[in-house]
Structure 1
């Protein structure tokens, strides 16, 4: 076990890839993270405050808060955030704890309402967090309502998804991710419709994989393993053109064309034939899959037939929950709906393959004396992510 956290070095500057550059033309990627970043409990402890509490965390889609008074609780950096739709249609977020005795205010699911009322002693707050009432208030000396509002949490809607940040001084997410909305905004928006039962904020119903959360993000950030580990994707993908089209300070964006040659697998071949873009997309989008990572742990898949948004939340040093949800647009035709069902089926096969892979990686990283080898240029985004983690933890200490 490491006794202290490593410091960032001058060599860990965030790399920038030329948009659309071929893998062989990019500069050498940064070094991978050392094994103890994935296995040391001290690193996990530091990440709570220096990574998750200082970054924008995906909690839901706007459709999960359909009208004034709608509310939900979501896990953020070892705490719970209470996110509500305000009376004017905006968003507000607070820590999910009453200012009186610390009671958890909201558990899922909860009905909408014009106020937030503590289930223990009845202290009542406006949707914006202002304390407006306490039973037998005259029996509470020095009850200063203006100073006893709920603890505020920053909240922002981006691409129709709701993010919160415990850091009150954080740069707005839309500003951090300048350029991403222009690249993929046509896929998204607050009017997306959820498909199926899965929801981003439902941590209890999420799949848990047996790996450190960063192993899951690393795996998502590269296609180098596709030829070996994902035969189905290899039949579908134009692998030679699987590229990181953008590596920016706060996000990475990838794209991969779908092959014109029919797959030998019936389901994959049928998907190739049926693939049709959702309203608002172009015919060029029909043959491309796109993926984005918003640092540190938001992952979004942009398909012609649906959007999948999910997040990687550590539940232990070697366990990660991956709650997420599927979304589509209004006015989708039968052909696109059929393609979506086929695509989701293919996605679950890929997920099962990846779940086995990340388990194996986590087991291997625990080998005493192991040190990572050099990264391929196809793993440039893994180096990007490693540099971001090193920078976030540089001043953490023990």
Structure 2
């Protein structure tokens, strides 16, 4: 998926956001927290620990509500190293389970499917054990031949599930506070962009890991890159022509999320595609006039990345595919009733995003290569990289202090 990163803030984590202004030294502000030590990105033991200490304890983005349109709709997705099965109930709600039969461990539903399957029950393809959409075991062929068959105790393993801004999240260990609670202010800021009424654009889907691009870096390198704009003047000439680099800012920062925004430049770009986008930019139904020339980006810890554009929403996630590889599945969404002008602007915007994505993929590869150098440790962060410091503090808190431990690989 395109990785169009937000421009990082000049405000240190936890501080009140000041009005945006020209970049420069701010001696009265505390420096950003330090970046993660190199072994956080290179030590296989830490990569294994993250499954339970980071991913299983947090909300993981798996799909959009539009992917489950009808009662009985179901799909599979990966979260914290487990495959989960998400279903739409008869009442219109959502349930999620580990995608494994309680009898012999058979994978219940293959996925992803071109279109979500729909059925009134979940039936194991091996021996026919059958479950209701709430996970209750209701049928086991020749049940009298199964000693100690206790159907109430043999329901599917449940997984916490929540719809937030129309996107579906799961929490493997069930301990995460509701997103509606921890991200309430984020919903106030960007709720008008999102919701269950969004419709997908194109074939890409958040849950479709098989189609996702895989990049040559640790997943945290990808999130770090999204959280800072310090590299934009050097690495992204298109974004420098298009965005007002000096007027970025964080609009909301909390323990569980960061929200950025950056306006488009008034000066026409020298590139025809970018210049045409600047001219045509217009909004989806439901947005405000001030949204027309503003791009917004949110990170929900640890690995949910949401781009809020005037003409569409891009939702994606950074899924570890190995210690030094990351899959970035995602999907584009818009609102019905968008004008022809908005639809054309969206096509231009997505094309621009793919260029940025290719540039970022090369940057991530270079970072992962470099941080494996024996003895390397990161230098101090710029205030434009304050989001990187916020993320580093969260990772250190979840994994515990590992400074000075682990191999430098």
Q: TM-score normalised to the size of structure 1? A: 0.95
2:42·2:372 contact (CA, 8 Å) conserved in 1? yes
Residues of 1 paired with 2:46 and 2:266: CA distance?
A: 45
Q: Deviations over 1:269-306 (max 9, x none)?
A: 00000000111101110010000000000000000000
Work out whether 1:208 is the aligned partner of 2:214: yes
Matching residue of 1:101 = 104
Among 46, 51, 59, the alignment partner of 1:48 is 51
1:246·1:254 contact (CA, 8 Å) conserved in 2? yes
Cα offset for 1:244?
2.0
2:316·2:328 contact (CA, 8 Å) conserved in 1? yes
Matching residue of 1:312 = 318
Matching residue of 1:341 = 347
What are the equivalent positions in structure 2 for 1:192-207 lying under 5 Å apart?
A: 192-207=198-213
Mark the runs of 5 or more structure 2 residues left unpaired by the alignment: 1-11
Work out whether 1:389 is the aligned partner of 2:395: yes
Among 231, 235, 250, the alignment partner of 1:229 is 235
The alignment partner of 1:54 has SS state of coil
Cα offset for 1:372?
0.4
Residues of 2 paired with 1:220 and 1:139: CA distance?
A: 56
2:38·2:372 contact (CA, 8 Å) conserved in 1? yes
Q: TM-score normalised to the size of structure 2? A: 0.92
Work out whether 1:350 is the aligned partner of 2:356: yes
Residue 331 to residue 20, structure 1, CA distance change in 2 (3 Å)? farther
The alignment partner of 1:347 has SS state of helix
Matching residue of 2:14 = 16
Cα offset for 1:395?
7.7
* Aligned residues between the structures: 385
Residues of 2 paired with 1:17 and 1:162: CA distance?
A: 31
Matching residue of 1:7 = none
Matching residue of 1:252 = 258
Residues of 2 paired with 1:317 and 1:81: CA distance?
A: 22
Work out whether 1:63 is the aligned partner of 2:63: no
Matching residue of 1:88 = 91
1:17·1:244 contact (CA, 8 Å) conserved in 2? no
Residues of 2 paired with 1:355 and 1:366: CA distance?
A: 17
Q: CA RMSD in A?
A: 1.4
Matching residue of 1:173 = 179
2:75·2:117 contact (CA, 8 Å) conserved in 1? no
Residues of 1 paired with 2:189 and 2:17: CA distance?
A: 11
1:251·1:292 contact (CA, 8 Å) conserved in 2? yes
Residues of 1 paired with 2:31 and 2:366: CA distance?
A: 26
Q: Deviations over 1:40-92 (max 9, x none)?
A: 00110110110000000000000000010000010011111110000000000
Matching residue of 2:35 = 32
Q: Deviations over 1:160-213 (max 9, x none)?
A: 000000122221111111200000000000010100000000000000000000
The alignment partner of 1:60 has SS state of strand
Work out whether 1:326 is the aligned partner of 2:341: no
The alignment partner of 2:86 has SS state of strand
Mark the runs of 5 or more structure 1 residues left unpaired by the alignment: 1-13
2:186·2:252 contact (CA, 8 Å) conserved in 1? no
Among 257, 278, 285, the alignment partner of 1:279 is 285
Residues of 2 paired with 1:252 and 1:20: CA distance?
A: 15
Matching residue of 1:267 = 273
Work out whether 1:115 is the aligned partner of 2:121: yes
Cα offset for 1:247?
1.9
Q: Deviations over 1:339-363 (max 9, x none)?
A: 0000000000000000000000000
Q: Deviations over 1:13-48 (max 9, x none)?
A: x93132355465553100000000000001101101
The alignment partner of 1:215 has SS state of helix
Work out whether 1:367 is the aligned partner of 2:404: no
Among 60, 76, 79, the alignment partner of 2:79 is 76
Residues of 1 paired with 2:332 and 2:54: CA distance?
A: 26
